[in-house]
Structures are given as C-alpha cells and as structure tokens.
Copies of this chain bind each other. A is one copy, B any other.
C-alpha cells in the first residue's frame, strides 16, 4: 500500500507489528473444521510478564480471543465459505486464509490459575499464538443494535 495522507496528517503505516501475548494449549494438533471443538477446553498460557492483565477477568462469562492463524499461508479474495457452502469474498467469511490472518472467537471463561487461562470453545489449534483477550459483554455488544433505528 502506498503511504496515504489523511486529514489527521499521519501516514497509514505500511506494516503493523505485534508480539504474541501467549499461546494456546489443547489437544487439537491439526487445523480442520470440527464442531466438537466448541465443547472442548483450551488453556491459554499467557506470558508471565502480562499476568496482572488478567485481574478481574474471572468476573466475565465470555471473552473474545484474538489469535494468529500461524498455519494458514496466503489468502484468496473469493472462495467457498464454510458455514453455508456459498462463494463469498474473504471479508464476508471467517476463512483462516485472509490478508491478515487474525482469528476471532468468543469463548466461555472457565478459570484462571496464575498466568494460565482456561476457556471453552476456542477453535484454535495447539501452539496458536494469542494476540489479545477482550471482554465480551452482551449489553455492550448490543449497543449497535439499540442505535440501529
């Protein structure tokens, strides 16, 4: 992408760099669509230096986990999407083969032990780098719905 100027007079960065905050530990060793994964428990092993960032995460029922599709190389702009078998653009799908391979899943919080977070329903394989954890709060998510009219 060419550097573009906008009104805030800062160029759009060519590259953005992140450092994983931890990684996934579970018994999914190979990628694949598998409905049973939504019932499985995964551990997120957080970097020790970030452990304090989990304070009060135990008060939440659900979390967003953002992770990196480290096994998915390249992308297709148009492909057959999994959930309904229709052709669609990559931005109208959850394909792991996307320009920026960021995965996003809502999981159920189970427990925290030190720097280890236990969650249910994470569809990421063992060893997946985790980029961020955010609260999923239904009331806040629905804000857009309320303002719809």
> Which A positions have Cβ atoms within 8 angstroms of B?
1, 4, 6-8, 10, 12-21, 23, 25, 29, 38-39, 47, 50, 52-57, 59-60, 62-64, 66, 68, 70, 77-78, 83, 86-94, 98-100, 102, 104, 106-108, 120-121, 125-127, 129, 131-135, 137, 140-141, 143-144, 147-148
Contact = CB atoms under 8 A, between A and B. Distances in A.
Q: Name the prevailing secondary structure of the A interface residues.
A: mixed
B133 A91 contact: yes
A121 B99 contact: no
A80 B87 CA distance: 45
Given A66-B102, A91-B133, A20 B16 contact: yes
B144 A6 contact: no
A89 B52 contact: yes
A64 B131 contact: no
Given A7-B127, A21-B100, A52 B64 contact: no
21 contacts: A1-B20, A8-B125, A8-B126, A13-B20, A15-B18, A50-B99, A52-B78, A53-B78, A54-B92, A56-B86, A56-B89, A59-B92, A92-B135, A94-B135, A99-B132, A100-B131, A102-B102, A104-B104, A107-B144, A120-B147, A121-B144
